[in-house]
Each structure stands twice: as structure tokens, then as C-alpha cells.
Chain A
């Protein structure tokens, strides 16, 4: 929402604040009746009714008739404009789905915890059902969806939508993920690597928006990177560009899922990280480590910092090859902020070719842990050919034929 500054305390600033409150509330719940909006915001029915009318005229929200407890009611949702897109992120331990429109405004989202080593059939079934459930939540149908962008934690051959390196996601490398989902949902599905999607999102909407050349580094259960050159995502011939989790750093090292040994993932991935904390802290989940590091637990913070140094050394090599203007760091561990970023930045300063003209910046992802799933949304929208004439101030939008 763009907010023009009005004098604080004035009538118009109050109305503007209320308008923002209403929009934020609708966004949070996906769809609400006007009565529910009044109770959820604490505003009077009359105020809500006025604001909804204004927002409707400005094309910000849509209204539809519905029933609640047997009574007629006005359902308020964010305007769907020309169509909806779906972003999906399949992670090692969770699934995220967002619905958004062509303004990149997220109108509904839900995450779902997944078991370790989850099965491809069960998880894709859950993706399909979750998408339909979320559409229902905002009063939309599959017809409204222009496409789905799906991120996987493995390199993906984007022309076939299949995992391009066997062994990284056991069971998934045999399955044509894009085809399974597009057959099931009847909509176009675009599959890509999760770090690539994070790179797309951060370079379109986030911290790398102002730069042509950027690298997005995802530090989560595994480590990956997405490379943007001249504003375009560089996937590589087989989709494995930026797979820094499989750069060898230990000789000889532990065997890796990819078949090599000593890969970055074998020393900086979740398994060695959690394994190293097991004696002192017992069994932890990755988000426990983040929570504890943020609460000042020294051992957890040190473990995260060690990951930062290791990843920074490898990213320095990548940065020397690509020479980006900025390195954006996302993934769950980036939620520790400087705990991860400082040692990573220091390792990069030591190892990257110093450039006085364009110093390299290392920053946290401005979209946080939603970068990848939003990248899925952006990918689906970018892959859809719709001549757009959407403007927030424009009233009466033309539905595409």
C-alpha cells in the first residue's frame, strides 16, 4: 500500500489508518464478511461499510454475497484483478502455499509441516488439496488461476520440470512433478529450484530489486544459491547453476547424498549442524536452533556462525565468478540476522577479489523465509502472457477475454 503522509491526528490521517487496517485485516484472513471485519478491526459497522465502498471503487477489494449463520452477508476479499497465481514451496520439512494476484499482493497463505523424507505421492496430493482449499478460503476457483510456480529443494531441469540430479530427493527424481500437478489441477505448472525462486523474488520484489547482478544464497536444511545476471535468472544448461551445497570443501570428507564426498552440505547442512548440538542440547529442530541463537544461546549462535563462515568461503568463489553487486541471504538460518551474516560477510571479505569501484554488499533477504514461495508466485505470473493494464487508481478493470 502506498501511503501519502497526512498530518498526524487529522481526520484524513485517521481515515487512512483505518483504511490500511481494513486492508491488512482482509489480507490476514483472506476473506471476511463486513460484520466480521467490524469485530476484527474494532471499527464500527458504518465505518467499515464506508471504507469497503471506497476500496471497492478503487479496485482494491472485491465483494460477493454469501451467508453466515443463515444470514445474508457481504464477503470482502482483496481484488483479484486479472487472475490469481499460486506459489508453492516444497521443503525438506514443510510445505508452503501462497495465493497472489498480478500486483504480487498475497491474498492467502498456509504452511504445512511435513515429515522427514516425505513421499512424493503424498506430498503432491497435499499440494493439490491445499491449493484448492486456499482458493475456497478466498472464494475463488481453479478457473481464476493463471498458473502455479513450484519450488523444490533440488536442482530442476526447468524444461521438463524434473529433478535433474538423482539421489538428492529420494523418490522425487523419477517423478514428473510439473506434469503430475498440471494434470491434477488443470493449470500450467512451472517447477524450479527453491534457491532460484528466492533469487527471482528478491530481485523482483526484495533486497536485490535495484541491482542487475545478484546472488541469492539460501541457508536452510541444505545450502543453495540462485544467480541473477542482467536481471535474468541464470539456471545453467541442466538447472544445476548455483548448487553450492555440492561444492567440495573437505578432502577427504563425509559422503554426500549427491554421490560425491566432502560437499558443503556435509559440513554446513542441517544434519551436521543439529548433530553437533546433540550432545549439549539433545534433539533439536532447525527452527529451535534459530530461536535459541536469537535468544542468546552461545552454542547455538556459534554453530550458526560456523555455518556462516563455511558458506561465506564458498559464496566468495561464486562471487568471484559472477561479480554480483549484492549477495542476498535467505533460508531459515537467515532469521538469525547478523549471527549468520557477520561471519559470512567476513569470510567473503577475506576470499573475494576486492573491488574498490563496486564493493560487494551482503544483506539479509527482505522477504524473509517467504522469498522462495513468493518467487514461485512471481515465476507463475512472469510465465503467463497477460497484457496488463492494472493500476491501483484505475477504476473498472478490463477482464481478459
Chain B
């Protein structure tokens, strides 16, 4: 909730690639039990910002706080250690493995010297049930699943290891309406489980359906933060396309924490 300390707080994030200003002084807050949508045109800096949260890129300037503590996120492993899980657009799943193996990829549970398959299957079932997922069997090979079911597996994978923040990069791109519906229900479920969710999407209908706040990026800068239940479609589009600028739209970010002042 807005009165709490944010789970994730980014302030003044700046990143340059040679002459390209990918991000300039960007602020982003994500609270527990909140879905924050990150929207903007191609090249607005959404994925760059997400990659910093997930430890793939490091900012040139700015601060990142997790639950009020300043942190650096040098690697994806470090991000995972801080309770941040990411689903990238390509999902990064293995076709030839079954659902359980995909969920635990690189984090297999061990029992002595061997894999603890029965416990992994048990946790896999539990996680899929938590999500109300429609995947029939944790032993199904990934190759037999639909695009929507694969997205479910990728989202379920984020729940392994009890994360606090989940980053989803375009989770509904190229899905049918029924599959989109399932993914959106999963996102609501993640939020109801008390997680903070960062949702990157181009689909304004999906974004406004499940997010609590919408953060607009334009040319690597903040261009407005909106209450998703109250803002109109047109207002968000205007901020994305630059018809309105951040100076004209009210910002609802809370003040800097005393530590950063």
C-alpha cells in the first residue's frame, strides 16, 4: 500500500549506450500487493529498466532500494537472491524437458547426491495450484503445451524460491484471448499472493485490466504515473505519444526516503 515502504524503489536511474540515452533520471516504485505497468513506445526504455531490476544491466547513475535498503544488483543470481524473479519475452524454457524440470531449471533440489524428483514434483503441483493453472500434469513435456500454457509455466517458475517481486516482459504478446485471460488471471493471483509485479506490455486493455498504477516512459524519461482504475485510455496514450508531458500530469510518487535525500 502507498503508506508502506516500497518493496522496490528506483531513483534517478540513468543509462547510456554510447550516444543513446536509454534512461535519464527515471524513478519507479513497486509496493507489495501491487501491479505496476511499465508502458511506452518501442525504445522508451521499458526493457532496459526491467533488465536493471533483474540484474542484467547496471545503471550508470541512480539508486535502487529493496524494502528500504539500498542495494546493487550486479547479476541475475544476485537479483534472485534479493527475491526478484523475471519472465523475459522469450520465456527461456527447454522444449525437451517436462514441466517440473523447467520450473526448477538450474535450481534442482537435491537429496544427497541425486535429484529429489518427488519433492520437486510436489512443489511444482503446489505452485501450479497456487496459480490456478490449467496445466494437466507436471510431467507433460514442454513441447506438448500451448503458447498460453508455456507462459503459465514461465510465470509459475518465478514462484519457485518465494520471490517478492516478479517482472513480466510482454507476457500476453502473441497469445489467443483465452490464453491472455489465463495469464491476466495469473497476474491478479500473484498480486493477491502479496507480490509486487512489474508488467511490461503494449496492450493498453490488458494493462488497464490488471494493473494498479501505470508508469509511462517516453524517450527514457518518466512521462507520468497514473492510477489505473481512474485514468482514461486516452490520457495514457497521450502520455505515451508525447501529446502531454510529465510537467502537465500530476505525479503520484511519494517523496524520496530520508536516506536518499
Which residues in A have some Cβ–Cβ distance to B below 8 Å? Answer: 28-30, 32, 36-37, 39-40, 68-69, 93, 95, 110-119, 122, 126, 129-130, 133-134, 137, 281-283, 285, 287-288, 291
B132, chain A: closest CB distance, angstroms: 10
Whether A116 contacts B208 by the Cβ 8 Å rule is: yes
22 pairs from A and B in contact (CB 8 Å cutoff):
A29-B134, A36-B136, A40-B137, A69-B144, A110-B178, A110-B181, A111-B185, A113-B181, A113-B185, A115-B204, A115-B208, A115-B228, A116-B230, A118-B205, A122-B205, A126-B177, A130-B177, A137-B178, A281-B1, A282-B1, A282-B3, A285-B212
B136 touches A113 (CB 8 A): no
**B interface residues, Cβ below 8 angstroms from A:** 1-3, 33, 134, 136-141, 143-144, 176-182, 184-185, 188, 192, 204-205, 207-210, 212-213, 227-230, 232-233
Distance in angstroms from B232 CB to nearest chain A CB is 7
Which residues of A are found within 8 Å of B185, using beta-carbon distances?
111-113
* Contact status A113-B209, CB under 8 Å: yes
Cα–Cα distance between A283 and B209 once the two chains are bound (Å): 15
How far apart sit A29 and B180, CA to CA, in the bound complex (Å)? 17
Chain A residue numbers with a CB within 8 Å of B204 are 115
Residues of chain A within 8 A of B228, CB atoms compared: 115-116
Residue with the greatest number of chain B CB neighbours at <10 A, chosen from A39, A112, A126: A112
A28, A115, A126: most-surrounded residue (chain B CB, <10 A)? A115
Shortest distance from the beta carbon of A299 to any chain B beta carbon, whole Å: 12
Known contacts A133-B176, A287-B192; A113/B210 CB under 8 A:
yes
CA distance A130 to B180 in the complex (A): 10
Partner of A115, one of B139, B143, B209, B213: B209
Contact of B2 among A122, A126, A283 (CB under 8 A): A283
With A117-B233, A130-B181, A288-B192 given, can you name 18 additional A-B contacts, CB distance below 8 Å? A29-B134, A39-B138, A39-B140, A69-B143, A111-B185, A112-B185, A114-B209, A115-B228, A117-B232, A118-B205, A129-B177, A130-B177, A133-B179, A283-B1, A283-B2, A285-B229, A287-B192, A288-B33
Q: What is the CB-to-nearest-CB distance from A292 to chain B, in angstroms, rounded to a whole number?
A: 10
B176: chain A residues within 8 A (beta carbon) = 129, 133
User: Contact: A291 with B209, CB < 8 Å?
Assistant: no
Which of A28, A69, A95 sits near B141, CB closer than 8 Å? Answer: A69
A37–B228 Cα gap in the complex (Å)? 41
Give every chain A residue within 8 A of B179 (Cβ-Cβ): 133
Q: How far is the CB of B261 from chain A (nearest CB, A)?
A: 23
Contact indicator B212/A283 (Cβ below 8 Å): yes
Structural contact, B178 and A133, CB atoms closer than 8 A: yes
CA distance A113 to B212 in the complex (A): 13
Measured between beta carbons, the chain B residues less than 8 angstroms from A68 are 144
Bound complex: CA A134 to CA B181 (Å): 11
Q: How far is the CB of B35 from chain A (nearest CB, A)?
A: 10
Contact indicator A130/B140 (Cβ below 8 Å): no
Contacts of B144 in A (CB 8 A): 68-69
Taken together as a complex, chains A and B put the C-alpha atoms of A133 and B137 apart, in Å, by: 21
**A29 vs B144: C-alpha distance when bound (angstroms):** 15
Contact of A112 among B140, B177, B230 (CB under 8 A): B177
Q: Whole-angstrom distance between the alpha carbons of A111 and B182 in the complex?
A: 8
Whether B177 and A40, one on each chain, are in contact in the complex, defined by CB atoms closer than 8 angstroms, is no
Contact status of A130 and B178, CB under 8 A, knowing A36-B137, A69-B143, A283-B229: yes
- Which of B2, B137, B182, B204 has the most A CB atoms < 10 Å from its CB? B137
